[in-house]
Structure 1
Amino acid sequence: MDNTSSTLWPSRKAWIISAIIALVALAILFVMGRPPICACGTVKLWHGVVQSAENSQHIADWYTPSHFIHGLLFYAGAWAFLVKCQPLTLAPKSWGLPLAVLVEAAWEVFENTPFVIDRYRDVTVSWGYVGDSIINSMSDIGWMTLGFLFAARVQWWVSAGLAVVLEVLTGFIIRDGLALNVLMLVAPFDAVREWQAMA
């Protein structure tokens, strides 16, 4: 695919729709009773200790690269659906970002349900996981958006290469990442969990 074209760059209307979707997610998280910020009472730009009560509570952490990769992947999906499948879809090409924000926002809401929180605690190394703060969830949507916009401006192989680098980096540092996170959430392996626990 040719990422140098601006066919998937969001229009003004698409930006507005994306913002509305994010605000709806924000409201839902408040209604769900999610804490606005970390219970520690501070907001950090970066928190790098995975096995701690402050993980997934601040603006960025070791799972931020996963959300950036979401954006890269969602761009590829939007390109396949909105560009490659034209004219099978009637959706404007510039609506790729709202669709990506919708998927990411839906995940942020679902991720903070008791079902998913308990699932993380039961089958992954995130034994003390209590869900995300609202500022972390909204930041995750923001990081995904940055990934999407990055993919819209570079060649596909740059996005693919960066995704691999980020996965290898987080895998090496915290023994986790997007692929391992999905694997352990959906089909957990004891051997992988034991390996991750040694981090």
Structure 2
Amino acid sequence: MAIVALTAAILLAMGRTAICKCGTVELWHGIVNDSGNSQHLTDWYSFSHVIHGFLFYTGAWLIGRMIGKPLPLGIAFLLALGLECAWEIAENTNTIIERYRATNIALDYYGDSVLNSMSDILMMSLGFFLARFWPVGRTVVVALVMELIVGAWIRDNLTLNIIMLVHPVEAINQWQAGS
């Protein structure tokens, strides 16, 4: 798990706070539009990281199909872990934070705490291993249900997050703002 420790060290060196500046650690923080978002152990975006694990497992499976033999599970997981750690670092750069803050849903977003980033990595790991052991259909249904529930509840989810990060759509921005 040296890659996870290295990720935490990099995030701290980037100026990320270890825990919420509020001084508390919550198991669940369900308020999206406040300064505690992405600062505690889990939040609405934890579901997106579980889906990352589903997608990374699927990607490893596809790579195995392309090369004609399955990737060893340990190698596949290390690739997934490396991708998730890289994302946690990239997500907490000023460039990505400002890109998120350009939309209504993330006006109060100032980056993740290191604790939240470590939890996000754990959530991806959970998703990866669930995808390994669950039937494909269950994994797909669970991902869709998570996307629909989170989307309906907070007006954001992995799909909307990607769209608004890559190419913001004003109609989505207005809907997320409640307009």
Give the TM bin, normalised by the shorter chain.
Answer: over 0.9
Contact preservation (8 Å) 1:120, 1:126 = yes
The 2-side partners of 1:169 and 1:93 are apart by 31
1:181 aligns with one of 144, 161, 176: 161
Question: Quick one: distance in 2 between partners of 1:130 and 1:179?
Answer: 21
Distance 1:150 1:93, change over 3 A: closer
**Which structure is larger by alpha-carbon Rg, 1 or 2?**
1
Structure 1 letter corresponding to 2:92: N
Change (3 A) 1:35 1:133: same
Distance 1:145 1:104, change over 3 A: same
Preserved CA contact (<8 Å) 1:64 1:143: yes
What is aligned with 1:104?
Answer: 84
Q: Does 1:21 align with 2:3?
A: yes
Identity across matched positions, percent: 46
Change (3 A) 1:169 1:112: same
Look up the SS of the partner of 2:96 in the other structure: helix
User: Does residue 120 of the first structure (1) align with residue 100 of the second (2)?
Assistant: yes
Q: How does 1:50-65 map to 2 (within 5 A)?
A: 50-65=32-47
CA-atom RMSD, angstroms?
A: 1.5
Contact 1:124 1:184 in 2 (8 A): no
Shift, 1:93, TM fit: 4.4
Give 1:2-21 correspondences, 5 Å limit: 19-21=1-3
- Measure how far apart 1:24 and its partner are: 1.2
Indicate if the aligned counterparts of 2:104 and 2:177 stay in contact, CA closer than 8 A. Answer: no
Off by >6 Å, runs of 4+ in structure 1: none
The one of 160, 173, 178 equivalent to 1:193 is: 173
Structure 2 length as normaliser, TM-score? 0.95
Find the aligned partners of 1:141 and 1:107 in 2 and give their Cα distance. 10
Give the structure 1 partner of residue 66 of structure 2: 85
CA distance in 1, matches of 2:161, 2:130: 23
Name which of 25, 28, 32 aligns with 2:14: 32
Q: Residues 136, 76 of structure 1: CA spacing in aligned structure 2 closer, same or farther, 3 A cutoff?
A: same
1:3 is matched with: none
Structure 1, gaps ≥5 residues long: 1-18
**Inter-partner Cα distance in structure 1 for 2:32 and 2:105:** 10
Q: Which residue of 2 aligns with 1:49?
A: 31
Q: CA deviation at 1:123?
A: 3.3
Give me the TM-score of the superposition, normalised by structure 1: 0.86
Query: What is the DSSP-based 3-state SS (H/G/I as helix, E as strand, rest coil) of the residue aligned with 1:21?
Result: helix
Q: Which runs of 5+ in 2 are unaligned?
A: none
What amino acid sits opposite 2:23 in the alignment? G
Q: Are 1:165 and 2:145 matched, yes or no?
A: yes
Partner of 1:131: 111
- One-letter code of the match for 2:49? H
The number of residue pairs the alignment matches comes to 179
Question: How far apart are the structure 1 equivalents of 2:118 and 2:73?
Answer: 25
